[in-house]
Amino acid sequence: MAKQKSFYVCQECGYESIGWMGKCPSCNQWNTFVEEVQEPKSKGRSGAVVANVKPVNINDIETDSEERYLTGMKEMDRVLGGGIVKGSLILVGGDPGIGKSTLLLQICDKIKISTKILYISGEESIKQIKIRADRLNVRNPNLLMLSETNFKVIQALSESERPDLIIIDSIQTMFNDELPAAPGSVSQVREITSGLMRIAKTLNIAIIIVGHVTKEGAIAGPRVLEHMVDTVLYFEGERHLSYRVLRAVKNRFGSTNEIGIFEMRDVGLVEVDNPSSMLLSERTESVPGSVAVATLEGTRPMLIEIQALVCPTSFGMPRRMATGLDYNRITLLMAVLEKRVGMQLHNYDAYVNVVGGLKIDEPACDLGVVAAIASSFRNIPVNMDTVLIGEVGLTGEVRAVSQIDKRIREAVRIGFKNCVVPTGNMKVIKQMKEINNINVKYVENVQEALNILL
Return the HEC string of 300-350.
Answer: EEEEEEEEEEEEECCCCCCCEEEECCCHHHHHHHHHHHHHHHCCCCCCEEE
- Residue 160 CB contacts under 8 Å (≥ 6 apart), including other chains: none
Q: Is the peptide bond before 170 cis (omega within 30 degrees of 0)?
A: yes
Cα(75)–Cα(98) distance, rounded to whole angstroms? 17
Handedness of CA 121, 122, 127, 128 (dihedral sign): negative
What is this structure's pTM?
0.78
Determine the 3-state secondary structure of 7 from DSSP: strand
Q: Are 162 and 204 in contact (CB under 8 A)?
A: no
Handedness of CA 379, 383, 389, 395 (dihedral sign): negative
Phi, psi of 424, deg, nearest 5: -65, -15
Q: In tens digits, what is the pLDDT along the chain, a chain of 454 residues?
A: 556 677 888 877 778 888 899 999 988 888 888 887 766 555 554 455 555 678 888 888 877 777 888 998 999 999 998 899 999 999 998 888 888 999 999 999 999 777 789 999 998 999 999 999 999 999 899 999 999 999 999 999 999 999 999 999 989 899 988 887 778 777 888 889 999 999 999 999 999 999 877 666 666 565 678 888 999 999 887 767 778 889 898 999 888 878 888 988 888 899 988 888 888 888 888 899 999 999 988 788 999 999 999 999 888 889 999 999 999 999 999 999 999 999 999 899 999 999 887 888 899 999 999 999 999 999 999 999 999 999 999 999 999 999 999 999 999 989 999 999 999 999 999 888 878 889 999 999 999 999 999 8
Determine the 3-state secondary structure of 190 from DSSP: helix
Cα(366)–Cα(373) distance, rounded to whole angstroms? 11
- Percentages helix, strand, coil for the chain (3-state, rounded to 5) are 30, 30, 40
* Secondary structure element (H or E) that encloses residue 168, with its range: strand 165-169
Cα 146 to Cα 172, 188, 230, 360, 440, distances in angstroms: 16, 20, 24, 39, 58
Determine the 3-state secondary structure of 244 from DSSP: strand
For residue range 120-131, what is the model confidence (pLDDT) as tens digits?
999 899 999 999
pLDDT the model gives residue 295: 92
Q: Are 93 and 234 in contact (CB under 8 A)?
A: yes
- Residue 101 CB contacts under 8 Å (≥ 6 apart), including other chains: 121, 124, 132, 169, 210
Cα 15 to Cα 33, 141, 185, 203, 215, distances in angstroms: 9, 45, 12, 32, 19
Handedness of CA 222, 223, 228, 230 (dihedral sign): positive
Cα 237 to Cα 19, 195, 271, 326, 359, distances in angstroms: 39, 31, 14, 17, 9
Cα(243)–Cα(360) distance, rounded to whole angstroms? 15
